[in-house]
Amino acid sequence: MGMTMTQKILAAHAGLEYVEAGQLIEANLDLVLGNDITSPVAIHEIEKMKVEGVFDKDKIALVPDHFVPNKDIKSAEHCKCVREFAKKNDITNYFEVGQMGIEHALLPEKGLTIAGDVIIGADSHTCTYGAVGAFSTGVGSTDMAAGMATGKAWFKVPAAIKFVLKNKPAKWVSGKDIILHIIGMIGVDGALYKSMEFTGDGIAHLSMDDRFTIANMAIEAGGKNGIFPVDDLCLSYIKEHSDRTPVVYVADEDAVYDQVIEIDLSTLRPTVAYPHLPENTKTIDEAQKDDIVIDQVVIGSCTNGRMDDLRIAADILKGKKVAEGMRLIVLPGTQQIYLDCIKGGIIQTFIEAGGVVSTPTCGPCLGGYMGILAQNERCVSTTNRNFVGRMGHVTSEIYLASPAVAAASAIAGKIAGPDSI
């Protein structure tokens, strides 16, 4: 019996020739990640362990990004805790304001996540790095602490669902639309503790940014991880960003999958997830008929704050104005993306359209700051979750969408597709 791509990576890091779904293993880690919310808890746990230092100062990444730049005294104290720990332990990959970005956009850009790695992070969207052929998954802060101290983590080997992506998506159909479509199909627990393994000829038509978005939201389907095959585009991306050598794993032909789901990308339409779950999806054609007036648009986050995302949004907004009373908030994923947007005139486009552009931060995605919703307000957001009260008041509503739909909606003042602008 063969192994899936994820199972091969886990077997190699556990020093085993073979693993199967449900097996408990201890695996060596290539990277342990934490942010300004989760790292302080892990740091306090390490202090309780009374261990000396960390397992490898080069294999830990600490990225303050949720409430950074600090929004209040408490967030400042959290960042101070992380900063002092990084300094004490000489952590190589500590990213302070000025160098930081939204963690899951920043780490691939810095070349810290490559094919064949096993990565854990005290943030649920650590599954993003499956886009480059790594096994990456979110863990709790206690597991992060153990990982930083020992360089190891326990896993139950996940079963897998194989998603065969076929054909070329139409214009305006992006990675966000694909993953929302999938979550709408299988539900928010449809891949519970399973590896979502993507394959098929349609992958050749997806940019790396599309793949990052799809892998990022595997957790919204309950997945343990999402992972893509390592093709030439992926290898080129890794070579551009990292001086490490990737290790490429390919699923066996007789690998066991709980399900095989085929998706014809050419038939998909831009997709919107209605409140209050990512599975509540409608196509843009259905959504436009509902005539939903909105108050705010957020473009950014670890899901859709990358260069392709901002370029697409800017192309739609160029020469136009946001609707009267509309708040358009744009959050580039990293400092480098921000800089590239400045050089390309994209920031100017957002501002001239009536938007505001912030330094990289998770901010409004988790109801932190930089875009909190008031009672009964509605927001179209390129973020990843639309739970009750996620971005503010419990009666507010979040509609998840792609950057193209978000930009078009900002102009229309209601949920709208890019073809209607």
pLDDT confidence tier of residue 88, bands split at 50, 70 and 90:
very high
The confidence score (pLDDT) of residue 421 equals 82
Q: Which residues contact 75 (CB under 8 A, 6 or more apart)?
A: 36, 66, 67, 68
Given a cut of 90, is residue 1 above it in pLDDT? no
Radius of gyration of the chain (CA): 20
pTM attached to this predicted model? 0.96
Kindly state the average pLDDT of the residues 45-58: 91
pLDDT confidence tier of residue 50, bands split at 50, 70 and 90:
confident
Q: Is 280 exposed, middle or buried (0-12, 13-18, 19+ CB in 10 A)?
A: middle
Q: Is 68 helix (H, G, I), strand (E, B) or coil?
A: coil
Assigned CATH topology for domain 5-264:
Aconitase; domain 3 (3.30.499)
Tell me the per-residue pLDDT of 2-28, one tens digit each, with 9 for 90 and over. 999 999 999 999 999 999 999 999 999
Q: β-strand 159-166 against 152-156: which pairing, if any?
A: unpaired
- CATH number of the 273-420 domain: 3.30.499.10
Average pLDDT, the chain: 96
Note whether 255 and 160 are within 8 A (CB): yes
Q: Distance between alpha carbon 268 and the CA centroid of its chain, in Å?
A: 21
CA distances from 392 to 227, 323, 364, 388, 397 (A): 32, 22, 8, 9, 9
Topology alike, domains 5-264 and 273-420:
yes
Q: β-strand 24-28 against 152-156: which pairing, if any?
A: antiparallel
Tell me the per-residue pLDDT of 193-213, one tens digit each, with 9 for 90 and over. 999 999 999 999 999 999 999
The confidence score (pLDDT) of residue 52 equals 84
69: cis peptide before it, omega within 30°?
yes
Gap between the Cα atoms of 296 and 365, Å rounded: 13
Rounded (to 5) percent helix, strand, coil in the chain: 40, 20, 40
Note whether 136 and 113 are within 8 A (CB): yes
Check residue 30 and report its DSSP letter: S
Q: Which residue has the higher pLDDT, 237 or 50?
A: 237
Kindly state the average pLDDT of the residues 245-259: 96
DSSP bridge pairs for 400: 273, 381
The domain spans of the chain are: 5-264, 273-420
Q: β-strand 271-273 against 281-283: which pairing, if any?
A: antiparallel
Residues in the chain: 421
Kindly state the average pLDDT of the residues 278-302: 97
What are the start-end ranges of the E strands in 99-222? Answer: 118-121, 135-138, 152-156, 159-166, 194-199
The confidence score (pLDDT) of residue 141 equals 94
Kindly state the average pLDDT of the residues 386-413: 97
For the chain, the first-to-last Cα distance in angstroms comes to 52
> Taking the alpha carbons of 50, 96, 336, 358 in that order, is the dihedral positive or negative?
positive
125: cis peptide before it, omega within 30°?
no
Pull the structure tokens for residue 76.
């400042």
Check residue 374 and report its DSSP letter: -
Tell me the per-residue pLDDT of 350-387, one tens digit each, with 9 for 90 and over. 999 999 999 999 999 999 999 999 999 999 999 999 99
Kindly state the average pLDDT of the residues 221-229: 98
What contacts 24+ positions apart, CB below 8 Å, involve 234-241? 234/115, 234/131, 234/132, 234/133, 234/208, 235/115, 237/108, 237/132, 237/208, 238/111, 238/114, 238/115, 238/132, 241/108, 241/109, 241/110, 241/111
Gap between the Cα atoms of 83 and 148, Å rounded: 15
Gap between the Cα atoms of 392 and 3, Å rounded: 44
The confidence score (pLDDT) of residue 51 equals 86
The confidence score (pLDDT) of residue 263 equals 98
Given a cut of 90, is residue 420 above it in pLDDT? no
Gap between the Cα atoms of 235 and 139, Å rounded: 27
